[in-house]
Structure 1
Amino acid sequence: MAPRKLAAGNWKMNGDLAALAEIETLAKNHAGAGCDILICPPAVLIHPAQAVAGGVVAIGGQDCHAKSAGAHTGDIAATQLRDAGATHVILGHSERRADHGETDADVNAKAQAAHAAGLIAVICVGETEAQRDAGETLNVIATQLAGSIPAGATAANTVIAYEPVWAIGTGRTPTNDQIAEVHALMRQKLEGAIADAAGTRLLYGGSVKPSNAAEIFAIADVDGALVGGASLKASDFGAIITALDAA
């Protein structure tokens, strides 16, 4: 059976209490959506966001520590995200890998912690522009998948998001054939790595917006999107949700 579609929004370091009105609007406008909806706001907004999500919009974190507690100033445990009302957590985003030096092993350890806390891990993979130009994309993606997905991962507790680094926030997107090639590879590589690989949701991320969403969602093995800037406004993200519903 095909995976249930997922529209996920990553607010990154944006938003405040007033911005929660956007989540409330999403919940009101898409209560009957045929896909799952997820917003990952900054950690300080998780609890109040959950309160206005109305059971329609799931709320997630943007990162977690591999440890459940300890002397880790500024970090957040997966159990704390769960306690605040989160159901998901984004792990291994390219901005974390680049800005904080996170390795595949780090992402793997964090995913284990997320699973232990009862969170769904949204594990991100993606190549840089230099790697794409050098023809290394498929090898990079395969290596990141092998190193980042922990033992015990299942279709129920793990989502994979392909985000080509060079397409994030640039307005550029890969061709449909390039997206299809990577998603086909990911589906293949998940065999043996994730229980029910065929049912695991594979998201595309990288400059997804209302104007290109329908075209992207028509590509084989694209089960939704991880959206950045276009998820900050209910009108933009709502149009992407509608496109996913129609796919």
Structure 2
Amino acid sequence: MRKKIVAGNWKMNLTLAQGEQLINDILQAGLKLGEGQEVVIATPFPYLMKAKSLVKNYPGFYVAAQNCYTEKSGAFTGEVSAEMLQSVGVDYVILGHSERREYFQEGNDMLAKKIDQVLANGLKPIFCCGEPLLVREAGTQNTYVAAQLEDSLFHLTAEQLKQVVIAYEPIWAIGTGLTASAAQAQDMHAFIRSQIASKYGREAALHLTILYGGSAKPGNAEELFACPDVDGGLIGGASLVAKDFVAIVEKLA
């Protein structure tokens, strides 16, 4: 049975007071999570400890960081290590988000190092992959995503892979108001699963959680989550509005 996850990525938004209110509003909404269902809240670094303290008594709720550095420690002013995140109770770390790739030039080799740091510290990576619009228009999205998977994940052992969650982000559908159709999402999720199967075997692929990360909203979440290979969502803008985020979580099958 695969985990079903809705993760809210706040990005660089909200003050501490606003974030605390948002989490409390979500927790007080009376969500009933089923077996194997999780809610993950990815806050900016300064809010992680507060977020963890708020959700710690709520089964099925977890906290994620939005990034970490490639090294364990050292003279890297302004960076945050996976070991630091582990020490404050973080559960997941988002890696390779399209914004990190675009604005901070994070490449596949760098992300492989970050994956290793996260796993070495007992945390779970949410590894983002996906194609830009030009690649989608050229029809080469499968080749593009396959390279991301191979370069950043395929050095892992089968046991390590069990700790990884993949989030497919059609970059052309992030912050643009565009959304991949349910058929487009399902096709790519099935392709990703096939790539995992070819490397690690069918059982590993069947147990891998793959999230959709392209402008999911309350209005389209049910259709997306009904796809057989879509196991939830990595939610951006809608995660900043409690009622919208709760409505999306309620669409988990």
TM-score norm. by structure 2 comes to: 0.92
- Work out whether 1:226 is the aligned partner of 2:234: yes
| Equivalent residue number for residue 93 of structure 1 | 97
Equivalences for 1:131-210 in 2 at 5 Å?
131-149=135-153, 150-152=155-157, 154=160, 156-191=162-197, 192-193=199-200, 196-210=204-218
8 Å CA contact 2:130–2:171 kept in 1: the answer is yes
TM-score norm. by structure 1 comes to: 0.94
The 3-state SS of whatever aligns with 2:93 is: strand
Residue 158 of structure 1: how far off its partner (Å):
0.4
| Equivalent residue number for residue 28 of structure 1 | 28
Write the letter of the residue equivalent to 2:242. A
Distance 1:155 1:5 in 2: 17
Residue 32 of structure 1: how far off its partner (Å):
3.0
8 Å CA contact 1:20–1:49 kept in 2: the answer is yes
The 3-state SS of whatever aligns with 1:69 is: coil
Residue 186 of structure 1: how far off its partner (Å):
0.5
8 Å CA contact 2:42–2:65 kept in 1: the answer is yes
Distance 2:204 2:80 in 1: 30
Q: Give the number of equivalent residue pairs.
A: 244
Write the letter of the residue equivalent to 1:76. V
8 Å CA contact 2:8–2:42 kept in 1: the answer is yes
Deviations 1:188-220 (A, max 9, x none): 111234882211100001110101100111112
Equivalences for 1:11-22 in 2 at 5 Å?
11-18=10-17, 19-22=19-22
Deviations 1:126-168 (A, max 9, x none): 0000110011111111111111114136454100000011100
Structure 2 unmatched runs, 5+ = none
Deviations 1:43-64 (A, max 9, x none): 0100011111134321110011
- Work out whether 1:71 is the aligned partner of 2:75: yes
